[in-house]
Structure 1
Amino acid sequence: MKIAVLYGGISGEREVSLSSGKGIIQALKQKGHEVIGVDFNPNKLEEILQLKVDLVFIGLHGRYGEDGKLQGLLDMLGIPYVGSGVLASALAMDKSKAKQIFEKNNIPVARSVTYTINQPSDVDVIKNSIKQTFQVPFVIKPNEEGSTLGLSIIENEEEIESAIEKATKSDKNILVEKFVKGREVTVPVLGKPGEERALPIIEIIPKNAFYDYESKYAPGGSEHIVPAAIDNKLTMQIQEYAVLAHQALGCETYSRVDFILGEDNVPIILEVNTLPGMTPTSLFPDSAKSIGISYEDMIQEFVQLSV
């Protein structure tokens, strides 16, 4: 097939996307496809409008790639693509909306409140509301951002204002969420609509205090244990929640669902990643590898599921 791989982009996750794109391009070429690489920029849409390909493989992360906007453009152009459509992409990117859907489907979530900051004077009002609503520790993060960019764990109320400022650099809507201490696990999901399956659960042990940007992408930044050392009953429950979350949002082909296992071993869902990382240190490929699926075969399966 003739496949265009869109990578790079202009979000805060550009560097990660460059690495994902490189891996995807190499894998597709090894599988015999004719590949066109496009370093995507929403200000240069001519490159997309002029594409003459059988399929687009989206290797972008974050805004203008993972949020449904690009998917809408490709839909209007009649170009098929790998991964979730407009609605599922937008919902997964909007953490607040996604959490409402998870709750409706009885998937445990951390207690949270979403605030909107339209002008500087809003900060003091919101800061006071946060103090009255949450007890430390809690998390402040952008509502629509990935790779923990803009995220702060608040252990002292004096940190609230700077954390709000940090989060609003990415999004005027911020999510304040109860901090859940526990083991971080993630579940890749793969398959046709209605036939999705969960791959082995990965436990993530970050070298830093929490699973931040450096832990995710720096070589040796975290240890991945595949499969996670979790008993069979809990493993099945987490995998069921992951598939249910994928389906509830309307995701297609593949996704990766992140959880925290609290002290009571209740899996608290964090988010669904509709375009999870495909870098050399990424989680989805690690899980696939643990059951004998090579990186190249995994990428090819995404293509086959899409066409």
Structure 2
Amino acid sequence: MKKNIAIVMGGFSSEVNISLTSGNVVYKHLNKEKYNPFRVHILKDKWVALDDDANEYVIDKNDFSFTFKNAKINFDCVFNAIHGNPGENGELLAYFNLIGLKHTSAPYYQMALTFNKRDTLSVVKKYGIKTAISTYLNKGDVIDVDKIIEQVSLPCFVKPNNAGSSYGISKVHTKQEMLPAIENAYKEDSEILIESFLDGTEVSVGVIEYQNEIKVLPITEIVSENDFFDYEAKYEGKSQEITPARISEEEKNRVELVAKKVYKVLNMSGFSRSEYIFVDGEPYFLEMNTVPGLTEESILPQQAKVAGITLSQLFENAIESALK
């Protein structure tokens, strides 16, 4: 019997439209002979399932079911395609855990941990993973610009602590740019992270569970036309994403070992894509994305393609791993 699969998409953050695109790609490529996939929009004002004609059916939050053609539809598994809140920060997954519904992401605590950039860095540093020098601010804290610059130097990056897709990130070159950058980051989150600039080759490394093994996908080199890998570079073609990356075999082996170690240290499962910068041949960890973009043009699907894995195989593996 076919399994009923909810592909959840949307969310409550600035990434809602990116998530809808990812979710629709999953729906397009999922094997319809094996699964009954339903697109489910999780939005601030509604939770609804959609049929092929885009008719909406209200989700019953008691058990995450809905009524379709006079029949109650229960799901066997949820494919999580929500970037940001509440899919990537663990909130929705905690709800699924409470009602006993399986899903394609890591457990809710791991998702919450990795969505919080500051907490993730504090864990990986304990295991000898190299990172940028960083300092933190919470909204309402006294801002001492001179002290911040003394800690991280210039240029530096100012980031929202809990946000994705480069929303709210600024590269600060001068003292005068610091306060506007902080205010920009506070538009996305009440906690911010300020990191030193690392000058080197940036790579993106996908690590997934595939056929019951932890697999490091071919590495992607990021070459941004802008000052850094910002929203325009990620989504509006202002970058080159070169897979496999133009790095030495030694660098490749080093970052693969570090990426697999980070995946294990954080007790991850399911999808992940992390960013690293090589400084003097050593990979420095930046952050981890646990619901990476899943369009045909996104980095992790590009990496899977080079590895000989189709989108259908990638998505089916995630569901079968969750069901087991």
TM-score class, shorter-chain normalisation, is over 0.9
> What is the letter of the counterpart of residue 104 of structure 2?
V
Q: Which moved more, 1:30-39 or 1:232-241?
A: 30-39
Alignment match of 1:47 (pick from 54, 59, 78): 59
When Rg is computed on C-alpha atoms for both structures, the one with the higher figure is 2
Contact 1:16 1:217 in 2 (8 A): no
Q: Distance in 2 between matches of 1:34 and 1:194?
A: 24
Question: Please, what TM-score do these two structures have when normalized by structure 1?
Answer: 0.93
Unpaired runs of 5+ in structure 2? 48-57, 66-73
| Alignment map for 1:89-168 (pairs within 5 Å) | 89-118=111-140, 122-123=141-142, 125-168=143-186
Query: Is residue 227 from structure 1 mapped to residue 244 from structure 2 by the alignment?
Result: yes
Contact 1:245 1:272 in 2 (8 A): no
Identical residues among aligned pairs (%) = 32
Q: Distance in 2 between matches of 1:303 and 1:62?
A: 20
Unpaired runs of 5+ in structure 1? none
Q: Distance in 2 between matches of 1:303 and 1:276?
A: 16
Q: Distance in 2 between matches of 1:42 and 1:158?
A: 37
Contact 1:31 1:296 in 2 (8 A): no
Considering only aligned residues, what root-mean-square deviation do their CA atoms show, in Å?
1.8
The count of residues paired between Structure 1 and Structure 2 equals 301
| Alignment map for 1:1-307 (pairs within 5 Å) | 1-30=3-32, 32-44=34-46, 47=59, 49=61, 50-51=64-65, 52-118=74-140, 122-123=141-142, 125-191=143-209, 195-218=213-236, 220-262=237-279, 264-307=280-323
Question: Please, what TM-score do these two structures have when normalized by structure 2?
Answer: 0.88
Q: Distance in 1 between matches of 2:35 and 2:211?
A: 25
Deviations 1:45-95 (A, max 9, x none): 672623210000010001211001011000011110001111110110111
Q: Distance in 2 between matches of 1:89 and 1:128?
A: 34
Contact 2:93 2:108 in 1 (8 A): yes
Contact 1:238 1:267 in 2 (8 A): yes
Of Structure 1 and Structure 2, the greater helix share is in 1
Which secondary structure does the structure 2 equivalent of 1:253 belong to?
A: coil
Deviations 1:117-176 (A, max 9, x none): 23xxx35x3434313323211111111111111111110100011011000111111111
